[in-house]
A and B are shown apart, each in its own frame.
Chain A
Amino acid sequence: MSTTTKSKSVLWDWLTTVDHKKIGVMYLIAGTLFFVKAGVMALFMRIQLMYPEMNFLSGQTFNEFITMHGTIMLFLAATPLLFAFMNFIVPLQIGARDVAFPFVNALGFWIFFFGGFLLSLSWFFGGGPDAGWTAYVPLSSRDYAGLGLDFYVLGLQVSGIGTLVSAINFLVTIVNMRAPGMTMMRLPLFVWTTFISSTLILFAFTPLAAGLALLMLDRLFEAQYFITDMGGNVVLWQHIFWIFGHPEVYILVLPAFGIISEVIPAFSRKRLFGYTAMVFATMLIAFLGFMVWAHHMFTVGMGPIANSIFAIATMTIAVPTGIKVFNWLFTMWGGKITFNTAMLFASSFVPTFVLGGVTGVMLAMAPVDHLYHDTYFVVAHFHYIIVGGIVLALFAGVFYWYPKMFGHKLNEGLGKLFFWVFFIGFHLTFFVQHLLGLMGMPRRVYTFLGDQGLDTFNFISTIGTFFMSAAIIILVINVIYSAFKGERVGADPWDARTLEWATAHPLPEYNFAQTPQVRSLDPLFYEKIHGDGKMKPAEPLQDIHMPNGSILPFIMSVGLFISGFGFIMFNMENPILPPIVVAVGGLAITFICMIVRSVKEDHGYHIPVEEIKAKEVN
């Protein structure tokens, strides 16, 4: 009986859960915490740059903040926040009961979480990493960077494993767990982008892991891959990093495209324009994303031929991206548009992202890039992509899927206030940075001299940051307010199109009592028009087989965390324990858990038909 498995405490329930919905919520919470942490660092950095020659932060602290801001935002905020939606929504959208490997899903979350924890511990051991989020090598070698960089290397290695296993899990889920009739060309766009983004993770996080392993060997065991004195090559690190780093942009932005492609049709009351073109544009972007990494390195001195090839390849990406932008516009064209908060975010995403794309094409021109390189123009460009693209899409997703995840809507009035404050703050902060860059302000500097024409725009930029911070506070107020006073809604509050809105309310742990039969793209909307508004079942009502929870993913991740810390201890002045003991001991914990998992048989449990019937009545 399922009731016997639920007698444990709430905390134990969440620590051991393998339910994709709970893991999605945990990703959401952890990602938000890291997002706020990195946001506060950004706020502090902007305050330091508010006036010329400020002394709010020291240069060293500024470097640590700038490194941790980038690292956390990309690896520990944006990725997990997207994973939150992928975990929660993808199995629902394809009509599955769970992901393919629920245990591995929990493992992925906990490894990511402890990897991030390890990275954050650096503050207690002499300060964070300070070589920039790219950790370019002479700067990040043992000669120039301290213990913080070891936390960077090991923390990212550990959390990278988590990302990788989760991505493989999504791939297998989408290939194998689709409901009957849900062909690949009927997948909702969010599922498609999750699929392609997971493929990118599979191919891009492996070079990252290799690069970090080489850097670790250099730093901890005196190898010489990147030491020029010993015949190493510093440019090799840049290549390896960007072979990962450029696809990483698409890993993040493609699911954001997916969210936009869900929200815009839902609130335009039209099907997505050019579905097939959208799918193939996504694939093309992913493929081209791998072939353009060297455009980050135009100024390295690769020569005119290499620069031209990579410049042209980079500009080519604008073509499939343009296809997507026009398809969103055509979806809205002639639609019956509802401008609620989710749609405000989704529709403002389109022009904002285009602005980022335009500066992207500007930066892709190799000769002109010599002027833009390492100025605030680059900072403005990638913040338009990452904040104006990914973060706006994430907020659209939050407001769109909040009723499915928590059973009530977020307050619309506060939501719209939040949107306008954030949107204005965002453009105030980053638009003027284009101008700062064109005026020649270099990036990654902790201060600047007065009366060089940089004062006004830096001041405006900082004011924008205050707006964005205020907006986040409004969002927090909204979440708390809505938890008590929010509008309680049913299973399908938006009159939406896709399968996740066909589940019962409140969402049961098995998602679908009977696997649905999919008859079209936008299956729920098809049933609303051609059927009785409910999905046809593809199987009789029967007992549902569910996996048991397990504490093993948690312990395995703790093992990896201990092991990572042990490796860092190699560079510590006076380690309390011999580092090798800690490193091997941590790995031993993980391996013992793996053996336990392999040997111990766990058949899960069954939910009887009567219990399902009782739940489905609501």
Chain B
Amino acid sequence: MADNLSQPFSKSAMTEEEKVQFQREKKQQVVAFVLMIFLTLLAFLAVAADFLPVMFVIPFILLLALVQFVLQMFYFMHLKDNDHGWANAFIWSGVFIAIPTIAALMLLLGITKY
């Protein structure tokens, strides 16, 4: 018995349906990854380009950051999956704690300069 478990399996234990699902997920992740690189490039260009006004660049890159955050959470941290209840609970309680904490910290320090 002990030796059997050390052997690699000859074929995948996944069903055909699971394989299709797996391929779809893989495609989604690659697309999300490419999109995130594109968004990062966009943010970099927005800062690097001198002609854009600062008051436009800051909200713009914050928006890009938000999109990246959502992509990251849903496609790489599996927030969209149904069987990740505990992971979801932790991510949301983290968000729930982080937002008031960061808001309070910014208010207390006083945002006088960017």
A sample of 5 cross-chain residue pairs with beta-carbon separation below 8 angstroms, ordered by A number, consists of A175-B86, A203-B98, A287-B97, A291-B100, A543-B2
Chain A residues numbered 208-242 whose CB sits less than 8 Å from any CB in chain B: 231, 233, 235-236, 239
Across the interface, which residues of B come within 8 angstroms of A239, CB to CB?
A: 105, 108-109
**Is residue A485 within 8 Å, beta carbon to beta carbon, of the partner chain?**
no
Cβ A603 vs Cβ B5 within 8 A: yes
Q: Which residues of B contact A287 (CB under 8 A)?
A: 97
Q: Which of B60-103 contact A (CB under 8 A)?
A: 86, 90, 93-94, 97-98, 100-101
Q: Pick the contact of A199: B1, B2, B93 (CB < 8 A).
A: B93
Q: How far is the CA of A294 from the CA of B105 in the complex (A)?
A: 9
Judge whether A606 and B2 touch: CB under 8 Å.
yes
Contact of A233 among B86, B94, B100, B109 (CB under 8 A): B109
Given A175-B86, A545-B5, are A290 and B109 also a contact pair (CB < 8 Å)?
no
B6 touches A (CB below 8 Å): yes
Say how far A170's CB is from chain B's closest CB, in angstroms: 13
A-B contact count (CB 8 A): 41
For the complex of A and B, 7 pairs with smallest distance between CB atoms:
A606-B2, A603-B6, A175-B86, A290-B97, A239-B105, A302-B108, A543-B1
Interface string of B8-30 (1 = CB under 8 A from A): 00000000000000000000000
Assess whether B35 is interfacial by the CB under 8 Å rule.
no
Q: Does B109 contact A606, Cβ atoms closer than 8 Å?
A: no
- Mark A589-618 against chain B: 1 for CB-CB distance below 8 A, else 0: 000000000000001011000000000000
Distance from B58 Cβ to chain A, minimum over Cβ atoms (Å): 18
In the assembled complex, how far is the CB of residue A248 from the closest CB belonging to chain B, in whole angstroms?
15
Q: What band does the interface of chain A fall in when counting residues whose beta carbon is under 8 Å from B?
A: 20 to 34
* B101 CB to nearest A CB, Å: 6
Known: A175-B86, A235-B108. 7 other contacts (CB 8 A): A171-B90, A203-B93, A203-B94, A233-B109, A243-B105, A291-B101, A606-B5
Q: Mark A190-213, 1 if CB is under 8 A from B, else 0.
A: 000000000100110000000000
A111-137 at interface with B (beta carbon < 8 Å): none
Residues of chain A from 233 to 291 with CB closer than 8 A to chain B in the complex: 233, 235-236, 239, 243, 287, 290-291
Measured CB to CB, the nearest residue on chain A to B2 is: A606
Chain B residues in 8 Å Cβ range of A290: 97, 101
Q: Does B34 contact A (CB under 8 A)?
A: no
Q: How far is it, in angstroms, between the C-alpha of A53 and the C-alpha of B5 when the chains are bound? A: 72
Bound Cα distance A175, B86 (Å): 8
CA distance A545 to B100 in the complex (A): 46
Please tell me if B54 contacts chain A, counting CB pairs below 8 Å: no
Task: Confirm or deny: B104 has a beta carbon within 8 angstroms of a beta carbon on chain A.
Answer: yes
> Judging by beta carbons under 8 Å apart, are B2 and A605 in contact?
yes
Q: How far is the CA of A302 from the CA of B6 in the complex (A)?
A: 62
Once A175-B86, A203-B94, A287-B97 are accepted as A-B contacts, the answer to whether A306 and B108 lie under 8 Å apart by CB is yes
Task: Write the chain A residue with the least CB distance to B5.
Answer: A603
List the B side residues contacting A231 at CB < 8 Å. Answer: 113
Q: Give the complex CA separation of A243 and B100 in angstroms.
A: 12
Interchain CA distance A239-B86 in the complex, whole Å:
30
Shortest Cβ distance from A607 into B: residue: B2
Q: How far is the CA of A238 from the CA of B98 in the complex (A)?
A: 17
Q: Who on chain B is nearest to A305 by CB?
A: B107
Chain A residues positioned under 8 Å from B108 (CB to CB): 235, 239, 294, 302, 306
In angstroms, Cα B105 to Cα A290, docked, is: 12
Cα(A231)–Cα(B86), bound, Å: 42
CA distance A235 to B110 in the complex (A): 11
B94 → A minimal CB distance (Å): 6
Say how far A204's CB is from chain B's closest CB, in angstroms.
9
Q: Which residues of B contact A202 (CB under 8 A)?
A: 90, 94
**In the bound complex, CA of A306 to CA of B106 (Å):** 12
Once the chains bind, are B97 and A203 in contact (CB under 8 Å)? Answer: yes
Looking at the assembled complex, report how far the CB atom of B108 sits from the nearest CB atom of chain A, in whole angstroms.
5
Q: A239-B109, A306-B108 are in contact. Are A606 and B1 (CB under 8 A)?
A: yes
- Give the distance to chain A from B73, nearest Cβ to Cβ, in Å: 16
CA distance A606 to B4 in the complex (A): 11
Identify the closest chain B residue to A283 (Cβ): B93
Give the distance in Å from the alpha carbon of A308 to the alpha carbon of B105 in the complex. 15
Q: Closest CB of chain B to A189's CB: distance in Å?
A: 20
CB distance from A317 to the nearest CB of B (A): 15
- List, in ascending order, chain B residues with CB within 8 A of A236's CB: 109
Q: What's the minimum C-beta distance from A40 to chain B, rounded to whole angstroms?
A: 37
- B97 to chain A minimum Cβ distance, whole angstroms, is 5
Closest to A609 in B: B1
Q: How close is B66's CB to chain A, nearest CB, in angstroms?
A: 20
Between B1, B2, B6, B86, the greatest number of chain A beta carbons within 10 A of the residue's beta carbon is seen for B2
Q: How far is the CA of A160 from the CA of B31 in the complex (A)?
A: 35
A203 — which chain B residues lie within 8 A by C-beta? 93-94, 97-98
Instruction: Give the CA-CA distance A545 to B113 in the complex, in Å.
Output: 59
Cβ of A533 to closest chain B Cβ, rounded Å: 32
Q: A603 to B97: give the CA distance in the assembly, Å.
A: 40
Cβ A199 vs Cβ B90 within 8 A = yes
Smallest Cβ distance from B65 to chain A, in angstroms? Answer: 17
CA distance A236 to B105 in the complex (A): 8
CB distance from A302 to the nearest CB of B (A): 5
How many whole Å from A604's CB to the nearest CB in chain B? 9
Complex interface: chain B residues within 8 A of A235 (CB)? 108-109
Contact of B101 among A171, A233, A243, A543 (CB under 8 A): A243
CB contacts (< 8 Å) of A545 on chain B: these are 5
Distance of A231 Cα from B94 Cα, bound (Å): 30
